[in-house]
């Protein structure tokens, strides 16, 4: 398994707005451009990017934290990683601190780049 993927990004909006965009199926689909079905419950399943990404919510603290068991559909059966989003609101802006562990070494660079190109950049445009 690979090293930690650590990324931090700041959005010019409140934490609730960022949390909703990440956890609401319709909003997630709107900013990523791919179908999404996301449970709002801990233990509930999620799929996004038209089923290319799937997993389960491990811990949900509204507007503060999202922890998910996360996998790409093309990974070996049973292989999951853990992604943790910490949302820190200050002065009307929200910093997202994302730590992603357990990504298979062969896919690490693609996953790290994908967070930027498929999540943070389109999310910034969506929230603007």
pLDDT tens for residues 75-126? 999 999 999 999 999 999 999 999 999 999 988 999 999 999 999 999 999 9
Nearest residue to 62 via CA among 116, 30, 23, 28: 23
| pLDDT at res. 2 | 61
Q: Is the pTM of this model over 0.85?
A: yes
CA 90 vs CA 10, 12, 45, 61, 69: distances in Å: 10, 10, 30, 17, 28
| pLDDT at res. 3 | 83
| pLDDT at res. 63 | 98
5-127 sits in which CATH class? alpha beta
Maximal C-alpha separation, the chain: 43
DSSP codes joined into one string, 70-101: EEETTSPTT--EEEEEEEEEETTEEEEEEEEE
Annotated domain spans of the chain: 5-127
């Amino acid at each position: 398994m690979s090293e930690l993927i650590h990324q931090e990004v700041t959005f010019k909006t409140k934490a609730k707005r960022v949390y909703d965009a990440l956890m609401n199926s319709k909003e997630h689909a709107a900013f990523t451009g791919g179908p999404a079905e996301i449970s709002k419950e801990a233990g509930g399943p999620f799929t996004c990017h038209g089923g290319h990404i799937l997993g389960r919510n491990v811990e949900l603290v509204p507007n503060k934290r999202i922890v998910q068991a996360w996998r790409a559909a093309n990974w070996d059966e049973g292989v999951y990683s853990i992604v943790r989003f910490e949302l820190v609101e200050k002065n009307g802006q929200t910093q997202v601190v994302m730590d992603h562990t357990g990504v298979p070494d062969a896919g690490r660079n693609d996953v790290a780049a994908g967070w930027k190109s498929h999540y943070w950049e389109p999310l910034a445009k969506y929230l603007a």
